[in-house]
Amino acid sequence: MSDCERWDRAVAAISDGYAAMSPALRAEVDAAAHAVRHARRELHSLAEDRQCTAICASCGGECCVRGKYHATVADILVFLAEGEPIAVPRFESGLCPFLGDCGCVIEPSLRPFTCITFNCDLVEKMWEPERVEEFYGRERELRKLYEVLQESFAISAGSALRVSVLGFLER
Ligand code: SF4
Ligand code: SF4
């Protein structure tokens, strides 16, 4: 099965699982997804900095080359709960399927956990210690929110927790 087929089937299964949730569970998932999105926005704005943006632009997104497995079931749930169209991957490039000509095609508040929490040394060494501390404090908060979201879905679908979309139907 191709990556494209694996992705489409997994997204369809996750969408079906979300649609089949009880109203109470869906409300829980929606609240957790909304909180995840808000936390990602906060993390992204904390990481944003004119100098760092310039470094990333000149690097061209080296950390995005191997992002194929970053998107998880929880990330798809955030798209669904927030009523956002699910990002369409392009697997043919062999790079991260969401890496477009001008960088990531997914807006920051919808990017996978790994993407929103990773900063390489080049970037991090530009930060003052207080910013590093705040960033990782918020990262821990985001991690907890993911756990709430993932557990909510696991209750519904009987599935395991942090699972890549591409591996979802192959466990
Ligand atoms: S975080 Fe580092 S590796 Fe990733 S795009 Fe920026 S400079 Fe490049
Ligand atoms: S999803 Fe976006 S940020 Fe994450 S690895 Fe792919 S291109 Fe980079």
Q: What is the pLDDT of residue 87?
A: 94
Residue 66 C-beta-side C-alpha neighbours within 13 Å: 2
Query: Would the pTM count as exceeding 0.85?
Result: yes
What is the residue range of 38's domain?
A: 3-161
Q: Please count the structural domains in the chain.
A: 1
Give, using CA atoms, the residue closest to atom 7 of ligand 1.
Answer: 56
Asked if the structure places residue 63 within a domain, the reply is: yes
| CA-wise closest residue to 156 among 6, 64, 19, 1 | 19
Cα 24 to averaged position of ligand 2 atoms, centre (Å)? 32
Cα end-to-end span (Å), the chain: 15
CA of 114 to the centre of ligand 1 (A): 13
Q: Supply the DSSP string of 92-158, one letter for each residue.
A: GGSS-TTEETTEESS-GGGS-HHHHH---HHHHTTS-HHHHHHHHHHHHHHHHHHHHHHHHHHHHH-
Residue 134 lies in a domain: yes
Judge whether 37 and 82 are in contact, CB under 8 Å: yes
Residue of minimum CA distance from atom 6 in ligand 1: 56
- Does the Cβ of 157 fall within 6 Å of ligand 2? no
The residue that leads in pLDDT, 91 or 60, is: 91
The residue that leads in pLDDT, 6 or 170, is 6
pLDDT-derived band at 149, boundaries 50, 70, 90: confident
137 domain residue, yes or no: yes
Nearest CA to ligand 1 atom 5: 61
Tell whether 169 is covered by a domain: no
Element (H, E) at 170: none
64, part of any domain: yes
Residue 29 belongs to a domain: yes
pLDDT value at residue 125:
86
Regarding the beta carbon of 55 and ligand 1, being less than 6 Å apart is answered: yes
- Measured in angstroms, how far is the CA atom of residue 61 from the centroid of ligand 1? 5
Q: Which of 52, 53, 56 to mutate to test the pocket of ligand 1 (most atoms within 8 A of CB)?
A: 56
The chain-wide mean pLDDT, for the chain, equals 87
**Is residue 55 included in any domain, yes or no?**
yes
Residues 6+ apart with CB under 8 A from 62: 120
* Residue 168 domain flag: no
pLDDT tens sequence across 89-99: 999 888 899 99
The values of phi and psi at residue 52, to 5°, are -65, -40
Helices (H) and strands (E) counted in the chain, each on its own, are 7, 2
Distance 120 CA to ligand 1 centre (A): 6
Q: What is the token pair recorded at 62? A: 């080296």
